[in-house]
């Protein structure tokens, strides 16, 4: 169940943060892969239970980014591109 694997997801997030703190890009690459695996695993479990699929997770974050940053991802994206570069 989700609760039983949540600690592993948290552990992977801490390992990502640790790799960043140590400026170890090779380790960061590996740890980001491990964290992504956790995301995919949770989404697959949710899909098997009939809740949502990985595509729904991707759509949700895409929608959220557009809502929060319409100057970058909205209809005025061309005009806001320079702002993204500043960020």
| Whether residue 48 is found in the same domain as residue 63 | no
Domain total in the chain: 2
% pLDDT > 70, the chain: 85
pLDDT above 70 for 85: no
- The answer to whether 19 and 27 have CB atoms below 8 angstroms apart is yes
| Whether residue 60 is found in the same domain as residue 46 | no
pLDDT above 80 for 15: yes
| Whether residue 75 is found in the same domain as residue 85 | yes
Average pLDDT over residues 17-42: 99
- Round to whole Å and give the CA distance between 7 and 5: 6
What pLDDT sits at residue 84?
Answer: 59
| Whether residue 59 is found in the same domain as residue 45 | no
44-73 pLDDT, tens digit per residue, is 999 999 999 999 999 999 999 999 988 888
- Per the structure, the complete domain to which residue 47 belongs is given by 1-52
Whole-structure pTM value: 0.77
């Amino acid at each position: 169940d989700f609760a039983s694997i949540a600690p592993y997801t948290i552990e992977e997030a801490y390992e990502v943060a640790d790799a960043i703190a140590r400026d170890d890009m090779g380790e960061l690459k590996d740890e980001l892969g491990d964290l992504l695996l956790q995301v995919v695993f949770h989404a697959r479990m949710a899909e098997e239970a009939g809740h949502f699929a990985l595509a729904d997770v991707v759509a949700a974050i895409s929608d959220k980014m557009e809502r929060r940053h319409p100057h970058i991802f909205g209809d005025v994206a061309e005009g806001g591109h320079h702002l993204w570069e500043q960020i």
